[in-house]
Every structure is written in structure tokens, then in C-alpha cells.
Amino acid sequence: MKLKKDLAISDSGFLFNPSSGDSFSLNPIGVEIFKLLQKGESDDAIITLLLNDYAVDKNTIDKDLNDFKIMLTNHKLINA
């Protein structure tokens, strides 16, 4: 899964897709995951990083990451 290349995101969580003109708001953990995905990190690497930083179990992150990626797809932020 690869994010579209020209997406711009601010630290406060404002995301802009210049090719469609759509804009989005992300919460802080959404920003963190988005940036990791932009860097091309694998799911396993993202889960390990989050487990290290947050008080959460692996199943929850796994489920939420999957859900987040579905939403990125729904919002057409993923390369087809």
C-alpha cells in the first residue's frame, strides 16, 4: 500500500490532497501513522513503534491500523 506522493500534511494534522483539492483533519496519532506510512514503513514496524510509545495492546493497534488504512483508501489517498 503506497500513499499518493504529493500529499501535504502539517504537524497539527491538516492534510491536503492537491490533485483533488480535498482536505482532511487527523488526530495526533493519525498524523504519526500517516508520516510513518509516507516513509514507507511496514505495518509490523509501525505497530512495534506504537507499542513502544503508547499504553496499548498489539491487537488494538493492529485492528485500528487496518481501519485507518481502509479510511485512507476510502478517501482516495492511496495509489491505485
Q: Cα–Cα distance between 16 and 55 in angstroms, integer? A: 30
Q: Cα–Cα distance between 52 and 1 in angstroms, integer? A: 23
**Which CB atom, from 25 or from 42, has the smaller least distance to another protein?**
25
- For residue 51, the tally of other CB atoms under 10 A from its CB is 14
Which one among 2, 39, 56, 58 touches another protein, defined by CB under 8 A?
A: 56
Q: What is the residue type of 69?
A: K
Q: Does 62 bind another protein (CB under 8 A)?
A: no
Report the interface residues with another protein, using CB under 8 A.
13, 15, 22-30, 32-34, 50, 53-56, 60, 64-65, 67-68, 70-72, 74-75
